[in-house]
């Protein structure tokens, strides 16, 4: 891939502000733009958006760039958005700079499962204009460590099965998905305000705009949890804190999840019901002997309770 001159930051910021519905303050992200070998003229068909903190991610990021070069579909540009801790804002910045008709979103630690991932995603959207977001399966690679295998087998939504046909699914997620740029702009882009729950919010907005959210057949990635227990527990504690913050401050953007392809997304549950459900999950994990599920659930709930009470206390002090 060849590196291009970065776009003008002021122009990109103005373009972002023009279509984003839930807008945060501007942030001076560093943009790096590259073109693949098969880019058509005058612009690529696809813009690949990769938000990243350090353009490294323990070596995963560079590995991902090498995998992009091995894709059979090569009519794409890559826009790397570096340094923004708000994933939603970073992706909106990338979308503002995008020249492609379709946006493929990747996490910087995603591993593509095979060389036809992009081909399959683009072919699906070209054939089905009613699809607003298409994702892929997330499977466990053969070289995954023991802890990673346990996490992905015990914890809901940490893996998803490969499907044999296009299926409406709540399992389409940011680590690898494709969205028509016109649809992305129509719904107002990503939510830049919430720190967590971007995937559910995005899927809800796309469905409410009248489009399908699907997972496509025969296509998969490897998006893995941390391979060290303490890092994993810190991640779940952080996720619990962020979930509590959204519950406390942004309840209108809290969206329920499903745990399998084809399941209907339920209506948002009350906080009391969510607490009861959390207790049932702890009991289920204990009874079934899923130790990893148990301790990560405890870490998540500890983070949730900590942040919920802390946010409540801060709110009372400011009254």
Domain residue ranges in the chain = 2-226, 231-317
Other C-beta atoms within 10 Å of 159: how many? 20
User: What one-character DSSP code corresponds to residue 267?
Assistant: P
Give me the mean pLDDT over the 177-181 stretch.
98
Give me the mean pLDDT over the 205-218 stretch.
97
Integer Cα distance of 204 and 115 in angstroms: 30
Contacts of 50 (CB under 8 A, 6+ apart): 61, 64, 78, 79, 80, 81, 94, 105, 106, 107, 108
pLDDT at 273 over 80: no
pLDDT at 253 over 70: yes
pLDDT band at 315 (very low <50, low <70, confident <90, very high): very low
166 vs 287, residue with greater confidence: 166
Q: What is the pTM of this model?
A: 0.92
Give me the mean pLDDT over the 47-52 stretch.
98
Q: What is the mean pLDDT of the chain?
A: 92
User: How does pLDDT run across 225-241, given as a tens digit for each residue?
Assistant: 999 999 999 999 999 99
Give me the mean pLDDT over the 177-194 stretch.
97
pLDDT of residue 256: 84
| pLDDT-above-90 percentage for the chain | 77
pLDDT band at 319 (very low <50, low <70, confident <90, very high): very low
Give me the mean pLDDT over the 237-265 stretch.
89
269 vs 60, residue with greater confidence: 60
Query: How is residue 2 written in tokens?
Result: 């060849």
Give me the mean pLDDT over the 119-130 stretch.
97
pLDDT at 276 over 80: no
Q: Report the b/e string of 18-55 with b at 16+ CB within 10 A.
A: ebbebbeeebebebebbbbeebeeeebbbbbbbbbeeb
Decide: 102 and 46 in contact? Cβ < 8 Å: yes
Decide: 122 and 73 in contact? Cβ < 8 Å: yes
Query: How is residue 91 written in tokens?
Result: 């992706």
Torsion of CA 121, 127, 133, 135, to 10 degrees: -30
How deeply is 197 buried, as exposed, middle or buried, from its count of CB atoms within 10 A (0-12, 13-18, 19+)? buried
Nearest CA-CA partner of 216 in 308, 113, 295, 307: 113
pLDDT of residue 150: 94
Torsion of CA 277, 278, 284, 285, to 10 degrees: 160
Show the DSSP H helices in 176-290 as ranges. 181-186, 198-208, 229-249, 271-288
pLDDT band at 313 (very low <50, low <70, confident <90, very high): low
pLDDT of residue 314: 53
Integer Cα distance of 208 and 212 in angstroms: 9
Nearest CA-CA partner of 88 in 189, 180, 219, 156: 189
Which residue's entry shows tokens 């148990």?
294
DSSP lists the bridge partners of residue 180 as 102
Contacts of 247 (CB under 8 A, 6+ apart): 254, 271, 274, 304, 308
Out of 64-73, 268-277, 282-291, give the one with best mean pLDDT. 64-73
pLDDT of residue 316: 38
Integer Cα distance of 166 and 187 in angstroms: 23
pLDDT at 160 over 60: yes
Find out if CATH 3.40.190.10 is the number for domain 2-226. no
Decide: 214 and 172 in contact? Cβ < 8 Å: yes
Decide: 121 and 49 in contact? Cβ < 8 Å: no
Q: Report the b/e string of 177-189 with b at 16+ CB within 10 A.
A: bbbbbebbbbbbb
Give me the mean pLDDT over the 294-319 stretch.
76
């Amino acid at each position: 891939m060849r590196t291009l001159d970065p776009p003008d930051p002021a122009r990109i910021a103005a373009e972002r502000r023009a279509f984003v519905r839930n807008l945060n303050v501007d942030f001076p992200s560093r943009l790096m733009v590259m073109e693949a070998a098969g880019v058509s003229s005058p612009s690529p068909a696809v813009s690949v958006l990769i938000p990243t903190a350090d353009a490294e991610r323990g070596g995963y990021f560079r590995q991902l760039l090498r995998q992009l070069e091995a894709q059979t579909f090569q009519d794409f540009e890559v826009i790397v958005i570096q340094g923004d801790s708000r994933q939603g804002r970073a992706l909106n910045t990338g979308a503002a700079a995008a020249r492609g008709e379709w946006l493929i979103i990747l996490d910087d630690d995603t591993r593509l499962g095979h060389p036809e991932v992009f081909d399959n995603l683009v072919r699906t959207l070209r054939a089905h204009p009613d699809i607003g977001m298409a994702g892929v399966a997330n499977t466990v690679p053969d070289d995954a460590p023991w802890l990673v295998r346990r996490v992905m087998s015990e914890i809901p939504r940490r893996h998803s099965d490969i499907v044999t046909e296009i299926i409406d699914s709540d399992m389409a997620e940011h680590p690898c998905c494709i969205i028509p740029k016109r649809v992305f702009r129509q719904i107002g882009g990503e939510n830049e305000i919430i720190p967590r729950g971007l995937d559910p919010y995005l899927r809800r907005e796309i469905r409410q705009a009248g489009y399908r959210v699907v997972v496509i057949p025969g296509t998969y990635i490897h998006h893995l949890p941390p391979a060290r227990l303490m890092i994993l527990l810190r991640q779940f504690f952080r996720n619990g804190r962020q979930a509590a913050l959204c519950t406390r401050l942004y309840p209108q953007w809290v969206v329920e999840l499903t745990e399998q392809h084809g399941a209907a997304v339920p209506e948002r549950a009350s906080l009391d019901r969510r607490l009861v459900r959390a207790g049932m999950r702890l009991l289920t994990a204990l009874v079934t002997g899923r130790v990893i599920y148990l301790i990560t659930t405890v870490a998540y709930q500890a983070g949730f309770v900590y942040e919920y009470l802390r946010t409540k206390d801060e709110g009372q002090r400011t009254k």
